[in-house]
Structure 1
Amino acid sequence: MSDHSLRMLLDASDRFASLSTPEQKWDMAQTVARDFGAVAVNIGAGSRRTGDLLWMRSNMSRTWLSDYVDQAFMTLDPFVAGAVRNTDPVLLNAGRLRRSEAASNKAFEMDHQLSEAGYPLCYGVPFTGTIRGAGGMVVFGFDREAARSFTEERASQMRLVAAVIAANVGPPEDVTAPGVVDIPTGRLTRREREVLALLADGHGNDGIADRLGVSEATVQKHLRSARQRLNVLSREQAVVRAVSMGLI
C-alpha cells in the first residue's frame, strides 16, 4: 500500500473515532468507500445456521435494491454465502455469466441486473458478525472504469477499508434509517406485513395508503407481491396465511 493510501486509511479511522451515532458512522462508511474508488458499499450479516440474510445496509441504487428484495436474490447471493461461511474475499465480475453456465435463471438474472445497475465488479470481504451465530461481509461496488483497473493492490486496500468499516458499522437499530434494506422476514417484507395487518384490521386500499403515506398503486403492488410470496390467489387468503404463519 502506498504512503498516500495508508494516510487515507489512518485518517478514516480517526474520523470514525470522532463520531457517535450510527447514522454518522454509516455516512462516513460511504465517504470512505468513495475515497478508495468504490461507487457503492454494502454491509450485512447472515445466519450460519440457516444461511438467511439477517440485515443489510447499502447505498446501491433503489431500483437495484428493490429488484434484489422482490426477486429474492439474497437466496443465491455469493456474498451472503461467503458471509455465513466466513470464506476468503469474494470477487464478482458481473454481466459475464452465460445463461448456459448459470446454476438457474435467477442466478443469471441477478448477475446481469447487477451489471446493468452500474456495478460490473463487486468485491466482498468477510468479517465476524456482531450477532451470535452470524457472519458478516462488507461489499464494495465499482463502476466499469474502476473495474478495468482493479488490481491485487486495490483488493489489498479494500480489505483494510472493509475492516475499518466493519469495526464501526453494526446492525441497524432503526429499520427505517437511510440505507437499511427491508429484508423479507418469514418471506414477507416489513412493508408487506404492515399492509396485510391493516387489511386484516378492515382497511381498504385508500385507508392503507393514507395511513402509510403511500399511493394506492403502491399498496396494490405490495399486496400483489405478498400474494406471490405466500403462494395464494387473493388478498383474503394472504391475510389468513400470514396470520397462520405468525407474520402479522
Structure 2
Amino acid sequence: MTALILKTIYRFLSVETNDARWQVAQDIVADLGCNAINTASVDRTTGQMEWALLSMSDAWLEAYVGEGYFEVDPLILGARNPTGFQLLKSQTLHRDDSPNRTSFGLNHELAHYGYSHLACIQMPGQGDASTRLVVFSGDDSTYDFHRKYDQPELGQLARTIAAFVTEPATPDPRFLPMYGKTLLSDREKDVLSLLAAGHRNDEIGYRLSIAEVTVRAHVSSARLKLGAKTREQALVEAIRTRQIHP
C-alpha cells in the first residue's frame, strides 16, 4: 500500500458523514493536480445512471445535462462492458468522424470548460448489475496528473474513494434527467407543495386560480413523472428529490 493510499484512508477516517467524505475526496484529488472528481453508479443492463456525485463546475454541469451529453458520454456507455480503465481526451473527434453532433459537442466542450483529460476507473458496484465509476479530470495546461500517477495507483485511489464515498441521501434535482426521471413543471411543484401543506384540491385550485379538475391533472402528471402510485408516494418522492420542500 502506497503512502498516497495510506494518507487517503487516514483522511477519510477523520470524518463521519458522507458529505464530509465527499469533500475529503475533492481535497485529495486537488492535491494530485486534478480539477474535479466525479463518481457514479451505472446499471450495466440498461446503461442508466443510478446516482452521481459531480464536482465539475456548475456551468459545465448545466451544459452536460441540458445538451444531453450524458446520453453519449463514452465513460457512461463504457460502464455496460467495463474494461477497468478508460482515458477520455477532449478535442480528439473530428466533425466528419463523429457519430453525431452531441458526441462532437461533448468531446470539444470539455476542453472549453477546462477538462482536457478524464481518467475513469471502473469497478463492480453494489450488486451484480451495476458498475461504479470514479473519474479524475484535469487540464494538461496546468498539470499532467495522469502521467505522474500511473494507472495502478489511480486505480487504488479510486477504489479507496469508492469504499468511503457512497450514494447521496438526497439526489441533486439538477441531475434527475441523467437518472431517467423528468423534472416537475413549476405548476406541478406549486400543486404538490400546497398538497404537502395539507390543502384540499378545491383549496389548491382557489389559491392558484385554476379549476379543481386541473389540480387533479397536475397531481396525476406529477405521479407519472415521479413513478409514484399514489399522491402520498408522489409527495415523498418530490421531497426526497428536493423538487419541493415540506
For the aligned pair, the TM-score class normalised by the smaller chain equals 0.7 to 0.9
Return the match for 2:176 from 173, 183, 203. Answer: 183
Q: How does 1:74-89 map to 2 (within 5 A)?
A: 74-89=70-85
Q: What is the match of residue 173 of structure 1? A: 169
Q: Percent identity?
A: 26
1:210: which partner in 2?
none
* Residue from 39, 44, 47 that aligns with 2:35: 39
Count, aligned residues: 205
TM score, norm. by length of structure 2: 0.73
Please tell me the root mean square deviation across aligned C-alpha atoms, in Å. Answer: 2.9
1:46 to partner: Cα distance: 0.9
Give the aligned residue type for 1:69.
V
Describe the superposition over 1:200-227 as per-residue Cα deviations: whole angstroms up to 9, x where unpaired. Answer: 5699xxxxxxxxxxxxxxxxxxxxxxxx
Question: Does the C-alpha gap of structure 1 residues 139 and 201 become closer, same or farther in structure 2, counting only changes over 3 Å?
Answer: closer
Q: Secondary structure at the match of 2:60?
A: helix
Aligned to 2:211: none
1:106 maps to 2:107: no
Contact 1:45 1:136 in 2 (8 A): yes
Q: Report 1:89-238 matches (<5 A).
A: 89-130=85-126, 133-145=129-141, 148=144, 150-151=146-147, 153-176=149-172, 182-184=175-177, 185-188=179-182, 192-193=183-184, 195-198=186-189
CA displacement at 1:241 relative to structure 2: 9.0
Distance in 2, Cα, partners of 1:120 & 1:83: 21
Q: Secondary structure at the match of 2:16?
A: coil
Shift of 1:154: 3.1
Supply the distance in 2 between the matched residues of 1:105 and 1:77 (Cα, whole angstroms). Answer: 13
- TM-score where L is the length of structure 1: 0.72
Q: Deviations over 1:116-164 (max 9, x none)?
A: 1100000000121125621110001111235656427533322121111
The aligned counterpart of 1:232 is none
Larger Rg: 2
